[in-house]
Amino acid sequence: MIKRIILIIGSLAAMTVVATGQEAETLFAGEVVHGGFGGPVLKASTVNGSPALFVGGRGGWIINHSFILGGGGYGLVTNVDARVPSVYGDRRLAFGYGGVEMEYVHDWDRLIHVSVMLLIGGGGVGYQASVDDPRGSNYDHPMDEVFVLEPAVEAHLNVTEFFRLSAGVAYRYVNGVTTPTTSNASLSGGSAVMTFRFGEF
């Protein structure tokens, strides 16, 4: 009886050693290389049928030089007519958005390479009082909360080991606008994008 117990314990111990030596399946095999970057972003687009410039920034965690998980935020900085009449002149549209950004970079070590990216997030849209309105911000319209989805394709130039210059195109899908003077379609549209990336790639 004692021999059987010893044999069973020995067998269990051997099975534990074998199980401990096994490696779990993972998304990234072998050594995982980490990096990160951050930098300003410019987006030239159209909003309400008028030329528009968005300025913002983004940053991310880089995994194995190719997969990026991060986030960014962008705001409209040019004067765009909100289509709301006022005796003090046209009111200005206020629009900003941001969210989580996921990106895949192909051939990161080539002088020029490309990536695809997707932003999933939200923002706010409203309008501000006219510049000449003496009543000031008391006549700003409350911001509507909107959902934003923005895929993009970019080309990257390895300027230095720690600096990348990126240029590409994106398309901004906006949903949830309730302001009567604008619409989802008026805020959605394509953009020409330029990003200045500083970090460890």
The reported pTM is 0.80
Task: Write out the DSSP string of 87-133.
Answer: TT-PPEEEEEEEEEEEEEEESTTSSEEEEEEEEEEEEEEEEE--TT-
Q: What is the pLDDT along the chain (201 residues), one digit of tens a residue?
A: 444 444 444 554 444 444 444 556 666 667 889 999 999 999 999 999 899 999 999 999 999 999 999 999 999 999 898 877 665 557 788 999 999 999 999 999 999 999 999 999 999 998 876 655 555 555 566 788 999 999 999 999 999 999 999 999 999 999 999 877 789 999 999 999 999 999 999
Domains and CATH numbers, the chain: 32-200 (2.40.160.20)
Nearest to 148 by CA among 128, 124, 168, 127: 124
